[in-house]
Amino acid sequence: MEFQFYMPTRVITGEDCIRKNKDAFRALGTKAMIVTGARSAKANGSEKDVTEALKLADIEYVVFDKVMSNPTIACVYEGAAAARKAGADFVIAIGGGSPMDAGKAIALLAAQDISEDDLFKGQYENKILPMAFVPTTAGTGSEVTPYSILTNDKAQTKTSIATPLLFPALAFLDGRYTKDLGITTTINTAIDALSHGIEGMISVKANPVSDVLAKESIRQIGECFKALKEGSLTAAHREQLLYASMLAGVVIAHTGTTAVHSMGYSLTYFKDIDHGRANGLLLAEFMKFTAAGRPDVIESIITAMGYKKLEELEKDLEELLGAKEAITAEEISKYSSIAIKAKNIGNCPVVPEEKDLIKIYTESFGLSV
Amino acid sequence: MEFQFYMPTRVITGEDCIRKNKDAFRALGTKAMIVTGARSAKANGSEKDVTEALKLADIEYVVFDKVMSNPTIACVYEGAAAARKAGADFVIAIGGGSPMDAGKAIALLAAQDISEDDLFKGQYENKILPMAFVPTTAGTGSEVTPYSILTNDKAQTKTSIATPLLFPALAFLDGRYTKDLGITTTINTAIDALSHGIEGMISVKANPVSDVLAKESIRQIGECFKALKEGSLTAAHREQLLYASMLAGVVIAHTGTTAVHSMGYSLTYFKDIDHGRANGLLLAEFMKFTAAGRPDVIESIITAMGYKKLEELEKDLEELLGAKEAITAEEISKYSSIAIKAKNIGNCPVVPEEKDLIKIYTESFGLSV
């Protein structure tokens, strides 16, 4: 039993948890830069709760609300320059995966000069601005991971920065911020979290603690499937999904992801398919591929979800995700050649070759082989 | 769902994990003070593994091996003075609960001047020497808690210091160090860990994450009961118990303990009954008391252990703990009057009065009421 467990983020959950715990910001610094997108943090009330908490705690702040979906490298360098100019000494990221991923890179780049090449090579000092995170979707789990995923045009895919420096100091989970999300976004993000739990259990880096948390996360998401299908989510379901997504974040903080994420990145980069949806489209076929060599792992995932057979999960995913995008054999060939080079392929217990990736893409999209 | 989760200790497990991760010490400082007892860390090989790792990592060290069982306040002030004199900038505690509890207080007192009164009042600055912990018994879970329990002669009981400062930076779990522990110590420490998991589930501070970890811990210890009764523990059982004890430590880091610990402290202070054994003697009667108001919690504990009825756990505990100590009605009256004042009484969902504590002591020791 050789493993490590490390997750230093203080997770604070519950209704109005930001204002109730406003003093926690004081330990991070004296001037915050809020990193977020243009709209949703304003619409769902999270940005206002943060700025009011900061005012009550007598902390100055500036707002950088230029983070786009699937943030680029240019965006995070711009944010870091803004943080330096403003003299911000800590970062508060509010939003879905994009502002959180950007917030981490901004906090790193604001604390030290790092060239673009060195950023992805992990060549930097042990310095970063402290961070507080407020997820407003229940999917990425970025609030408790040491990863920042950026769109890397040079590599024509998404590339991750991974260092324990990137663990936020604080994560505030308030389900109310997710209550106005449309059903499609809610489904896509829930499937992203589900994929983290499932890939975490499949990963060769799974450990006893990550497995316990993954099963709990998977079980909680499974409990919401009916409401997701019916579009009848209550406030309690919203809280449950946010909780499950955080747990799944703790899981991938230890296990990394697998071929599903590697393959999904191309669907997002080239075809603009939402990240969670991209994972969901590939999940069942990847599980079938893995079941050939590791039926035990797949069985314990299926059991945790409350199913008897993988086909039941497959059917539910199809119902949740609806009609699939058109994809050509040429596209599949290209995406497979990119995905096979990704680091997380090495986390698969049954290691796929390029031809296996082609088969998984092909069957996932219902193309004739 | 309002709760916090925070456990910043990096847990590193596995055979020879100290030497394999010797470089992790470098992040803590340049000169270590090893805090331990006189004998066991030398006998079980843990002290040698630490000192060899430090030599390989080019880190100086001194040894303070004067920690007694149930460490006194005088002991930790002496240790802190020794750390200052030696110029140690981090602490490595090796041992069971006693050296770990002492190590935390020493790390705190070496970093700042604190009077004995202020120590228990929590009056101190945000400063402590970083710590690495090596548990050599599988019971206390102190390697992942923010508590230091010291023998407090003024209060005639054990008193805890509790602050997030006390979380060690590193915890090394190598089951080999527990392999030569006698069966009585092994049982007592396992029961201590079990009590942490059970009290953690009962505590009003239980949260969804602590419950998941508590169930896993309880389940793992339950799996070792047969081997504990037969005295037939394998290396795998030893690892399992050390893992379960760490999980239970994470649990009580969030939930605190309950009346079982408050009541057990008197048995240890006045009658020199081992801490884990003291908890074990009281556990079943306290569970019966709690079941009257919260049958759901007791049922989920029993289920996690693989039992159908509380009486099965009671019988197993009796078998493991053997003949009980003699205790008088006068003693019970005195201990109850001390225990009722303890802070952790407030963690009980069914809050006991002094007469309830008298009844629990009385029935636990088989006295006629």
The confidence band for B285, taking pLDDT boundaries of 50, 70 and 90, is very high
Q: Choosing among B9, B12, B13, B19, which should be mutated to test the A contact, i.e. which has the most A CBs within 10 A? A: B13
Hey, which residues does B351 pair with through a beta bridge? none
pLDDT average, residue stretch B148-166: 88
Query: What is the predicted pLDDT for the residue at B369?
Result: 54
Closest CA to A92 of A52, A35, A141: A35
Conformational region of residue B170, where left means phi above 0, alpha means psi within -120 to 50, and beta covers everything else: beta
Query: Does A78 have pLDDT greater than 90?
Result: yes
CA distance B204 to chain A (A): 16
Whether A49 shows a pLDDT value over 80: the answer reads yes
Residue A369 has pLDDT above 60, yes or no: no
* Residue range B10-177, CATH number: 3.40.50.1970
Averaged pLDDT, B301-322: 96
- Burial of residue A8 (number of CB atoms within 10 Å: 0-12, 13-18, 19+): middle
Given this model, what pLDDT does residue A367 score?
A: 87
Interval A209-234: pLDDT, tens = 999 999 999 999 999 999 999 999 99
Percentage of the residues of chain A whose pLDDT score is greater than 70: 99
- pLDDT (tens digit per residue) in A228-243: 999 999 999 999 999 9
Structure confidence by residue, pLDDT tens digits, A51-74:
999 999 999 999 999 999 989 999
Instruction: Tell how far CA A203 is from the center of its chain.
Output: 16
Provide the pLDDT for residue A368: 65
The answer, yes or no, to whether residue A18 has pLDDT greater than 80, is yes
**φ, ψ dihedrals at B314, nearest 5°:** -55, -45
CA dihedral (B82, B84, B88, B91) positive or negative: positive
Average pLDDT for chain B: 96
Residue of A191, A172, A151, A193 lying closest to A93 (CA atoms): A172
Q: Which residue has the tokens 């009961």?
A: B225
**Is ipTM strictly over 0.85?**
yes
Residue B70 in 3-state DSSP? coil
Judge whether A28 is closer than 8 Å to chain B, CB to CB: no
User: Per-residue DSSP letters for A303-316?
Assistant: HHHT-SSHHHHHHH
- CB of B216 within 8 Å of a chain A CB? The answer is yes
Is residue A320 within 8 A of residue A327, CB to CB? The reply is no
What CA–CA distance (Å, rounded) separates A263 from A271?
12
Chain A closest-CA separation from residue B344 CA (Å) = 23
3-state class (DSSP) for residue B63: strand
The reply to whether B10-177 and B182-364 are identical in fold is: no
Cβ atoms A84, A114 nearer than 8 A: no
Q: Is B295 exposed, middle or buried (0-12, 13-18, 19+ CB in 10 A)?
A: exposed
pLDDT tens digits, A96-143: 999 999 999 999 999 999 999 899 888 899 999 999 999 999 999 999
The string over A138-170, giving b where at least 16 C-beta atoms fall within 10 Å of a residue's C-beta and e elsewhere, is: bbbbbbbbbbbbbbbeeeebbbbbbeebbbbbb
Going from N- to C-terminal start, the domains of chain B cover: 10-177, 182-364
Dist. CA B174–CA B156, nearest whole Å: 35
> What DSSP state is assigned to residue B32?
E
C-beta separation of B268 from B278 below 8 A: yes
Distance (Å) from the alpha carbon of A9 to chain B's nearest alpha carbon: 7
The two structure tokens encoding residue B232: 């037939």
Q: Determine the residue among B26, B144, B205, B212 to mutate to test chain A binding: the one whose Cβ has the most chain A Cβ atoms within 10 Å.
A: B212
Q: pLDDT exceeding 70 applies to what percent of chain B?
A: 99
CATH of domain B182-364: 1.20.1090.10
Q: Residue A297: how many CB atoms within 10 A of its CB? A: 20
